[in-house]
Structure 1
Amino acid sequence: MSMSQTTVRARTADAAAPRRTSPRDVVLMLTAATSTQVGAAWGSHAFGAIGPAGVVAVRQLVASVVLLPLTRPDVRRLTRGQWARVVWLAAMFAGMNLGLYAAVERIGLGLAVTLEFLGPLAVGLLGSRSVRDLALAAVAGVGVYVLVLPGPSSDYLGVAFGLAAAACWGGYILANRSVGAALPGVQGTALATAVSATAYLPVLVWLALTDRFTPAALGFAVVAGVFSTVVPYSLDLLVLRRVPAPVFGVAMSAHPVLAALVGLVLLGQLLALHEWVGMALVVVANAVTMAAGGGRAAERQEATPPVGRAAAGSSRSR
């Protein structure tokens, strides 16, 4: 479930980026993506004690503690319209992470991240009427069907959570674009994270009052926040100074595959052949959309979340 960059940062990165992406930058992007998925995998170990909502609450708190000191937004100067955009972004952020983690609990990391990735893909194809883009949308649709193979044993609630995360990721991209036009740098993202963490405070209070916060659960949730927020956010800041946004978007397409591999290694979640095929179709559709879209893809991928996406990432989301 990919972590986001504003319009100004994305355009600056595109203008300053070299024509060739260095191997070091590729390694940094893949490291950030892997870190996002490792954080989600470790966070899933706390589901039994505090549930997905508890893990998300701790993760949002960690994200706000990291981002606010870095950006230091002047909240006293924000207008009502700016606050409205921040709240919209916070709602999408909170829904995206909760939907992803709820899906991870039911259908596993690889499948959940793949379904979530339909969000940025939909935004990338939004409004297009070209034959190529319609074909890519069809490929993604076939990929989802092959991935899920609807039947009596399908976990439709888990799939619904994944699709809800995808919808929120799409909304997050649009909201982040709006916030980026109203606030400088990543101040909007930091404020949205803080608002989201504040909204989750009742969850933290309830978990504390009911003694659900075991040391292990709290530790796993904090690790999820660090690996899915601090590490990928820091690496993305370095990479986006040199890498064009379309290249970054293509690299983000590796998230579902990395999620499946991390799920296999850390959680013992082995995917069936049809799940790998479905995932491959979604990944290819997204990669082609980002690579072939050129400047249009740069504009639409600029708001990919760095705090997990996901989204993590956010993929990202992380």
Structure 2
Amino acid sequence: MSSPATAASQPTDPAITTILPASPQTTGSGRMPAGQLRGIALMLTSGISNQVGAATAALGFPALGPAGVVAIRQAVAAAVMLAVVRPPLRSFTRRQWLPVLALAAIYATMNLTLYTAVDRIGLGLAVTLEFLGPLAVALATSRRRVDLACALVAGAAVFVLMRPQPTTDYLGILFGLIAACCWAAYILLNRTLANRLPSAQGAAAAAAVSAVAYLPVATWILIHHTPAPKYLAYAAAAGLLASAVPYLLDMLSLRLVPTTFFGLFMSVNPLLAAFAGWLLLDERLGFLEWAAITAVITANATSALTPTRRHPTE
């Protein structure tokens, strides 16, 4: 997941919001209020920052590798989140620390597997596979026929991405799917964490624990490889662009737009990732890859925009 702090900043469960109809309020003239337009601008900026940050992280892979970039990124992201949220770590109880530690493990695994997938199969495809995690959680909580159709569309898209070719990197695809599972687990764990800690305190604490866990990796790389300063800058920029900036922008945008609309808007991230990979990393996708990315986005949008039918007695 490119920005774990993003979903954590939502006042309600990010998984549930993706299966609810997204219908931001409009004015009497049919125009969207200026506040919501500002919210959309903030969300778009957040998404662009997120994926540009991921592309910037990839620039650091040659010298640091995915693990080294994640180590530095986690340290930067944790420093910013701790400064903004200021969780009272010393007052946490054992009941609160348990989900925090579990979330820290998810952070560590999710970011490493995602960046490894980016290194092997490219940013656009890796983020598309990762996005299947929250989509799967959303579809699994629904029994509507339209959601079954959306699941089939998403499954067909994955089949296209995994189709056997001489250049198919199955290990990269596997890492992308592991990242998707981690994101799904994060969403489910967030329910427990939200009940035990207020606001984003749990996410900030988990980011700090994850950063501490990666300290040996960062130390080993800095001692044995002494990478050029530009590679360290790439990794640090990833921490800011892919975590800190989206975290702050999403907190602001959630004050201006409904959480349902926020959850729907997240579905543009695979498309933004594909463009970021094309512009910054010179990644070229074929027609079928673009079609698969579009299918995943369409599946989520259709599921989110389709109203839920209620019984007359409800």
Calculate the TM-score normalised by the size of structure 2: 0.88
1:121 partner letter: L
For residue 149 of structure 2, what is the aligned residue in structure 1?
Answer: 135
Aligned residues: 291
Q: 1:40 aligns with which of 49, 54, 59?
A: 54
Q: Secondary structure at the match of 2:12?
A: helix
Structure 1 residues 283 and 220: CA distance shift in structure 2, 3 A: same
For residue 106 of structure 1, what is the aligned residue in structure 2?
Answer: 120
1:15-56 CA deviation, whole Å, 9 max, x = no partner? xx9614532221211110010000111111110111001111
How does 1:243-262 map onto structure 2 within 5 Å? 243-262=257-276
How does 1:121-132 map onto structure 2 within 5 Å? 121-132=135-146
Contact persistence 2:2–2:243 (CA under 8 A): no
Contact persistence 1:143–1:282 (CA under 8 A): yes
For residue 304 of structure 1, what is the aligned residue in structure 2?
Answer: none
Q: 1:189 aligns with which of 200, 203, 226?
A: 203
Distance 2:10 2:48 in 1: 26
1:77 partner letter: S
For residue 223 of structure 1, what is the aligned residue in structure 2?
Answer: 237
Task: After TM superposition, give the deviation of residue 153 of structure 1 in Å.
Answer: 2.4
Identify unmatched segments of 5+ residues in structure 2: 18-22, 27-31, 310-314
Structure 1 residues 98 and 8: CA distance shift in structure 2, 3 A: closer
1:75 and 2:89 correspond:
yes
For residue 19 of structure 1, what is the aligned residue in structure 2?
Answer: 25
Contact persistence 1:49–1:217 (CA under 8 A): yes
1:10 and 2:24 correspond:
no
1:54 and 2:68 correspond:
yes
Contact persistence 2:10–2:259 (CA under 8 A): no
Distance 1:212 1:172 in 2: 34
For residue 292 of structure 1, what is the aligned residue in structure 2?
Answer: 306
RMSD: 2.0
Contact persistence 2:101–2:206 (CA under 8 A): yes
Distance 1:218 1:89 in 2: 26
How does 1:151-300 map onto structure 2 within 5 Å? 151-292=165-306
2:12 partner letter: A
For residue 311 of structure 1, what is the aligned residue in structure 2?
Answer: none
Distance 2:10 2:247 in 1: 17
Q: Secondary structure at the match of 1:154?
A: coil
